[in-house]
Structure 1
């Protein structure tokens, strides 16, 4: 296998994280970001898209299936991230996958239709990626895709198809999912997500000294040497920061 020295890296935009994965994600890879509710998955993924477009010249697409695009923009302003500016500059596209589903009108430029069809979904995402020449993609989240399917059991087939399309597009992708019980090895809801992804990052909340602390674990990252330790991280005024030294608390 080719040495990781020759692998082109995509910077995550997360301070402290890239030094844990030899400088960044392998270009064109699909990474599963998994964790329980409130662990910071959406913020981590949004930071990946925002910093990529704003600092590294890599346009990105954020597909939001959990909340409306305008709500996402508002929440991310708390970190000083002006998504609207980047959208106007053609560097970021936010795909609203919520409004039509719940029967609300949307003024967004990119909106998924209310009748969910996986083939149409994939074609639409492909078109949006090509429209802005995106190098990065986030789909938030896999359980929301499964929820929209007529038969949730089809999720395995759907994820395999999704992975094939993502590899074809050549974008560096973060897929988010729920981890039912990471402490006991259940790191994804459907048990297949971690097998289609070339990288798996787990975000976790653990009780320490009568308060919850945030930890990150790189479970898998192809073409990359990485530690299997848990590293503390926090969500501060400027977003997610990882502490490779472990010195934070």
Structure 2
């Protein structure tokens, strides 16, 4: 039996972050990135996929359910990230989960036509992962998968099924969700997401000296030792940067 602590690490691509989790995410784990609007969740997971391709040659799939693929590429270009380059090389696949459902024509290679049917959604993502032999997967975001479900039991069932499929894929996955009120202990939209994930990272905005500052907290990370402190981070011209020393340089 392999000790979780001896598992291969998957580098996050986030400067300063891997120092807090023993060198990277435990391989084949599912990690929840949660926070309120504007905390940087989409940038965090896009950086994970992009840097995996750029720095380690690891194929990754980015499933975008809130923005069109071309909008993601344009927004991430501000950090100097050329997603198209690695898409052409077969190292990145962006699954557009917005265009078809919104009735907007799409010229994307990977277009999700039915995220309303969760089984079809999961089957399609599975096929894309296998098509490029992906080692990394990011889904942004969980509420966009379950947005038509009202019953808590149905939502729980969908998330459990998602977790099972992710384990079968053998990828290291980041999922995003909304945190309605972290200060009141609500760290996810449904209160279920954190239980299906082996890791939970909370991104937060706090007022300090009459301006908002970004902070990160690793709430849970099974299979590795990790810090339980809050650390400042910024979204810079090179993406998300975490400051393990607690000081912003």
TM-score (norm 2): 0.97
1:200 is matched with 200
1:80 is matched with 80
Q: Unpaired segments of 5 or more residues in structure 2?
A: none
Alignment check: 8 A CA contact 1:146 1:152 kept:
no
Partner secondary structure for residue 102 of structure 2: coil
1:173 is matched with 173
Partner secondary structure for residue 110 of structure 1: coil
Alignment of 1:1-249 (within 5 A): 3=3, 5-114=5-114, 116-147=116-147, 149=148, 151=150, 153=152, 154-248=154-248
Between stretches 34-43 and 97-106, larger displacement belongs to: 97-106
TM-score (norm 1): 0.97
Q: Aligned pair in 2 of structure 1 residues 120, 114: CA closer, same or farther (>3 Å)? A: closer
Instruction: Provide the C-alpha distance between the structure 1 equivalents of 2:114 and 2:224, rounded to a whole number of angstroms.
Output: 40
- Shift of residue 57, structure 1, vs aligned partner: 1.3
Between stretches 33-42 and 106-115, larger displacement belongs to: 106-115
Alignment check: 8 A CA contact 2:69 2:94 kept:
yes
Partner secondary structure for residue 87 of structure 2: helix
Partner secondary structure for residue 160 of structure 2: helix
Task: Tell me the alpha carbon deviations over residues 7-57 of structure 1, each in whole angstroms, 9 at most, x when there is no partner.
Answer: 210000000000100000000000000000000000000000000011111
Alignment check: 8 A CA contact 1:199 1:222 kept:
yes
Partner secondary structure for residue 101 of structure 2: coil
Alignment check: 8 A CA contact 1:156 1:192 kept:
yes
- Shift of residue 248, structure 1, vs aligned partner: 1.1
Partner secondary structure for residue 123 of structure 1: helix
Instruction: Provide the C-alpha distance between the structure 1 equivalents of 2:29 and 2:57, rounded to a whole number of angstroms.
Output: 18
Q: How many residues align?
A: 248
- Shift of residue 91, structure 1, vs aligned partner: 0.3
Instruction: Provide the C-alpha distance between the structure 2 equivalents of 1:168 and 1:15, rounded to a whole number of angstroms.
Output: 29
Instruction: Provide the C-alpha distance between the structure 1 equivalents of 2:47 and 2:180, rounded to a whole number of angstroms.
Output: 24
Q: Aligned pair in 2 of structure 1 residues 59, 115: CA closer, same or farther (>3 Å)? A: closer
Alignment check: 8 A CA contact 2:30 2:174 kept:
yes
- Shift of residue 114, structure 1, vs aligned partner: 4.2
Partner secondary structure for residue 183 of structure 1: helix
